[in-house]
A = this chain, B = another copy of it.
Amino acid sequence: MTLVTVERKILEKNDQIAEKFRNHLRSKNIFSINMLSSPGAGKTTIIERTVESLNSKMKISVIVGDIQTENDANRINKFGNPVVQIITHGACHLDAQLVKDAFENIEKHKTDFLIIENVGNLVCPAGFDLGEDEKVVVTSTTEGDDKPLKYPSAFRNASVMIINKVDLLPYVNCSIDLLRKNALIINPELRIFEISCQTNAGLDNWYEWINSKIKS
């Protein structure tokens, strides 16, 4: 077996915009998260459940990134919350400028909790700070237990990991203990939630964590 390696470029300008945007959000007492995952890990469904469950307790706004369609924003739009859809036309991640510009469209609405749903991609979004308070990586049991080792940036840069689709554990080749262990090897500080949006298992813990972060 032969090994070939390549170096990576890092965008510094993005981090400056992100830092400024984070300060802006904090000055308005807005708690913000940036959700990233593979396609199909269940980000949008988690957001639907979260908005539906927490709408009576706080003001929630959502920024949704997608390559092509408005399907995700349409799914969230039914709750009547402020939603901005960013369509990247092929670009593989959101950046801080995009999110900052998008937020201006809904800034007139009061927001306690801003959810940013990144493009479905476990690679590129990991390197881009969007100005969020917490980066939340979502992985699902159907993806197997090795993903933290194979896509370390996403798990290293996140502060929270959601393990979704725990209802499918009996049918898939995934050890939740190994998945947790692999994630904690990459990032020992990771806070982990195990949930299912089908059975609602574990969602209360997730909601409680969000609640504890809301200032107003």
Chain A residues at the B interface, C-beta cutoff of 8 Å = 1-8, 38-40, 66-74, 77, 83-92, 98, 101-102, 105-106, 119-124, 127, 140, 142-144, 146-147, 149-153, 165, 168, 171-173, 198
Contacts and interface: CB of A to CB of B under 8 A. Distances in A.
A121 to B, nearest CB: 5
A123 B119 contact: yes
A98 B6 contact: yes
Contact of A124 (B83, B123, B144, B171): B123
Contact of A6 (B88, B146, B153): B88
Contacts of A85: 1-4
Contacts of A123: 67, 90, 92, 119-121, 124
Task: Work out how many copies of this chain go into the complex.
Answer: 2
A77 B39 contact: no
A171 B66 CA distance: 26
Nearest to A105: B2
Contacts of A6: 86-89, 91, 98
